[in-house]
């Protein structure tokens, strides 16, 4: 029996900094689970980083390499998954130029992340590239003719726009692009050390490149329930990031922690000590793989070249169809 064709997935992370636990639990682990059943392209989108970081670009390349190491250390298998650095695969840019012709500016101006970024970063005069961020993202996805895109809920408007652009292109030139479906990852998102969303800009992250001592220190300084000042004060675990981490990394002990915290039998200081060790144990094998990969830059290079080759093969095929459909070939 002919084997059923595997569906194509493209997903990616932007690398304005190092990857953190939120990236690991929110995205990477999911990709690792999906790589057996799908044709998976795991992007490292360095061009997207330029939309906000274009003045000092000196850290992007280092972050790209670290991200590649993290992808591998988390368990992406380069025999199954193509790890793709966006700027190494020219078709992302080619398709971006073409899609930008068929995308009305008004569609882009109403994308919520555009407004948010402008306000958060106090950008008085936004660049053309920042406005076009979602067109570049649509190009990333459509250039693989990806059918499924695992993303967080915050990316849903970008996916919707990607589908609109695909429909418009197909309507104008013929059916080239499938409409990609988002695969929302539903799990308890790990909060940052202060209980807000984990984000580099809040400085509340545990990075995959942190050392065990850095993790211990960060956990020691974590926020807890502000109403629990002394050990015997009753705690509110559901509002405490230390508990959230405990539940994520050692669910078997979570019930007991909840009971003793609420009963005023467990203090925050010993609980954090315990959590620090739980996290260190949970990350040890990833750290070991990280260290081995860092010691073997030649291997990482080969993986990245191989990923780019596979991506080029796939995306050149799409571009040929696109140029023909547009009657430019
Ligand atoms: N915008 C995504 C984010 O910030 C990153 C991204 C760029 C992406 N291109 C993509 C995600 C294509 C999925 C598919 O997380």
> Same structural domain for residues 244 and 180?
no
Whether 231 shows a pLDDT value over 90: the answer reads: no
Query: Which residue in this structure is represented by tokens 């040929």?
Result: 320
Q: Cα separation of 117 and 158, whole Å?
A: 14
If you average pLDDT over residues 117-146, what whole number do you get? 94
Least confident of 97-111, 157-171, 239-253: 239-253
> Same structural domain for residues 29 and 122?
yes
> Same structural domain for residues 66 and 121?
yes
Instruction: Take residue 125 and report the two structure tokens written for it.
Output: 């005069």
Give percent of the chain with pLDDT exceeding 90: 82
Count of residues making up the chain: 329
Cα 137 to ligand 1 centroid, rounded to whole Å: 6
Candidates 100, 163, 160; CA nearest to 133 is 100
Quickly list H helices, the chain. Answer: 21-23, 29-34, 46-50, 60-74, 91-102, 105-109, 112-120, 128-131, 133-142, 156-173, 212-220, 241-249, 251-262, 268-294, 297-325
User: Cα 100–102–105 angle (5° rounding)?
Assistant: 70
Candidates 20, 22, 18, 42; CA nearest to 31 is 42
Note the pLDDT of residue 123: 87
CB 64 within 8 A of CB 289: no
Whether 184 shows a pLDDT value over 90: the answer reads: no
Pocket probe for ligand 1: among 92, 158, 180, the residue whose CB has the most ligand atoms within 8 Å is: 158
Helix, coil or strand: residue 101: helix
Whether 4 shows a pLDDT value over 90: the answer reads: no
| CATH number for the domain that contains residue 214 | 1.10.240.10
Helix, coil or strand: residue 22: helix
> Same structural domain for residues 28 and 144?
yes
242-247, long-range: CB within 8 Å, 24+ apart, which pairs? 242/268, 242/271, 242/272, 242/275, 244/188, 244/190, 244/191, 245/190, 245/219, 245/275, 245/278, 245/279, 246/271, 246/274, 246/275, 246/278, 247/188
> Same structural domain for residues 121 and 158?
yes
> Same structural domain for residues 13 and 151?
yes
Whether 214 shows a pLDDT value over 60: the answer reads: yes
| Range(s) of the domain holding residue 275 | 210-291
Note the pLDDT of residue 283: 96
CB-ligand 1 contact for 11 (6 Å cutoff) = yes
pLDDT digits (tens, 9 = 90+) for 132-152: 999 999 999 999 999 999 998
Number of domains in the chain: 2
Atom 6 of ligand 1: nearest residue by CA position:
12
Instruction: Take residue 101 and report the two structure tokens written for it.
Output: 């012709």
Please, how many CA atoms are within 13 Å of residue 255, restricted to the half-sphere of its CB?
1
Question: CA–CA distance from 245 to each of 190, 204, 208, 223, 229 (Å)?
Answer: 7, 14, 15, 12, 20
Binned at pLDDT 50, 70 and 90, residue 21 comes out as very high
197 counts as catalytic? yes
Is 136 part of a structural domain of the chain?
Answer: yes
> Same structural domain for residues 302 and 179?
yes
> Same structural domain for residues 161 and 252?
no
Task: Count other Cβ atoms within 10 Å, centred on residue 1.
Answer: 3
CB-ligand 1 contact for 111 (6 Å cutoff) = no
> Same structural domain for residues 182 and 226?
no
Out of 197, 258, 272, 327, the active site residue is: 197
CB-ligand 1 contact for 50 (6 Å cutoff) = no
Is 198 part of a structural domain of the chain?
Answer: no
Binned at pLDDT 50, 70 and 90, residue 91 comes out as very high
Atom 7 of ligand 1: nearest residue by CA position:
137
């Amino acid at each position: 029996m002919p084997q059923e064709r595997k569906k194509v997935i493209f997903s990616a992370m932007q690398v304005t900094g190092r990857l953190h636990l939120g990236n690991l639990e929110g995205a990477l682990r999911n990709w690792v689970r999906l790589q057996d059943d799908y044709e998976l392209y795991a992007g490292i989108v360095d061009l997207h980083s330029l939309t906000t970081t274009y003045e000092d670009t000196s850290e992007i390349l280092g972050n790209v390499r670290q991200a590649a190491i993290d992808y591998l250390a988390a368990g992406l298998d380069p025999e199954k998954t193509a790890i793709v650095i966006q700027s190494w695969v020219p078709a992302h840019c080619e398709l971006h130029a073409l899609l930008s012709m068929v995308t009305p500016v008004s569609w882009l101006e109403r994308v919520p992340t555009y407004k948010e970024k402008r306000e958060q970063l106090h950008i008085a005069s936004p660049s053309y590239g920042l406005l076009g961020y979602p067109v570049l993202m649509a190009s990333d996805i459509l250039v693989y003719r990806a059918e499924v895109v695992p993303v967080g809920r915050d990316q849903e408007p970008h996916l919707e726009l990607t589908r609109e652009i695909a429909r418009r292109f197909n309507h104008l030139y013929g059916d080239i692009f499938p409409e990609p479906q988002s695969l929302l990852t539903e799990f308890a998102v790990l909060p940052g050390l202060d209980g807000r969303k984990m984000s580099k800009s809040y400085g509340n992250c545990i990075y995959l490149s942190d050392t065990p001592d850095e993790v211990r220190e960060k956990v020691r300084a974590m926020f807890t329930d502000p109403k629990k000042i002394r050990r015997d004060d009753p705690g509110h675990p559901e509002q405490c990031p230390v508990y959230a981490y405990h539940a994520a990394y050692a669910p078997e002990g979570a019930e007991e922690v909840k009971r003793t915290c609420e009963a005023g039998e467990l203090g925050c200081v010993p609980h954090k000590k315990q959590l620090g060790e739980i996290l260190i144990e949970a990350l040890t094998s990833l750290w070991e793989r990280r260290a081995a990969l860092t010691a073997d830059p030649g291997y990482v290079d080969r993986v990245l070249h191989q990923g780019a080759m596979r991506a080029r093969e796939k995306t050149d095929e799409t571009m040929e169809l696109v140029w023909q459909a547009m009657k430019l070939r």
